[in-house]
Amino acid sequence: MLWWSDSLKTGNVKVDTQHKKIFELGTGVLDLTPESSNETLQETFQELIDYTKKHFAEEEKMMGDHGYSKLQEHQGLHREFIQKLHNTLQDFKASGPTEENVDNLKLLMVDWLINHINEADKNFIQKL
Ligand SMILES: [Fe+2]
Ligand SMILES: [Fe+2]
């Protein structure tokens, strides 16, 4: 699977499994081509957004249950990512899976998500 490596493991099996699934769904979006139908594009993207939201909600619940001090800050980061995904979806809807749109999504998944897992997620798992 694209991008996943064991170095991204947080040590929490449930969280790690969900992260892998997000990468899997992200790979599905990146596999779209300019010939993919608009319907396929939206369905694939929506699945990624829905699953990511669900994952974020579960992380936030874990943090809340354990009284994690940086919950609000972490929540803000999650919201930011969902917003970015929505913006990217709008771009895809407007012009399809063009090279530029696909590159932007790759950047988002790689830069944002990998950094988030490596820093913010690993930090909260350590504190549980
Ligand atoms: Fe996460
Ligand atoms: Fe997170």
Q: Is the predicted pLDDT of residue 126 greater than 60, yes or no?
A: yes
Question: Taking ligand 2, which is a single-atom ion, which protein residues have CB atoms under 5 Å away?
Answer: 59, 121
Query: Does residue 3 belong to any structural domain of this protein?
Result: no
Q: What is the pLDDT of residue 115?
A: 93
Question: Nearest 5°: CA angle at 41, between 106 and 97?
Answer: 50
H and E: helices and strands count for the chain? 6, 0
Give the range with max mean pLDDT: 6-15, 38-47, 102-111: 6-15
Cα of 10 from ligand 1 centre, angstroms: 9
| Ligand index nearest the alpha carbon of residue 81 | 2
Residue 105 Cα to ligand 2 middle (Å): 18
What are the structure tokens assigned to 128, written together? Answer: 């549980």
Q: Using the mean position of ligand 1's atoms as its centre, give its distance from the Cα of residue 98 in Å.
A: 28
The domain that contains 37 carries what CATH number?
1.20.120.50
* Domain count within the chain: 1
Ligand nearest, relative to CA of residue 80: 2
Residue 21 falls within a domain, yes or no? yes
> Ligand 1 centroid to 35 CA: how many Å?
32
Report whether 85 contacts 108 (CB < 8 A): yes
Answer whether residue 17 is part of any domain. Answer: yes
- Report the C-alpha gap between 62 and 98 in whole angstroms: 38
The answer to the question of residue 7 being in a domain is no
Q: Establish if 4 belongs to a structural domain.
A: no
In a domain, residue 35? The reply is yes
Ligand 2 centroid–CA 33 distance in Å is 29
pLDDT tier, 2 (very low <50, low <70, confident <90, very high otherwise): low
Give the residue-averaged pLDDT of 5-28: 94
Give me the domain span that covers residue 81.
12-127
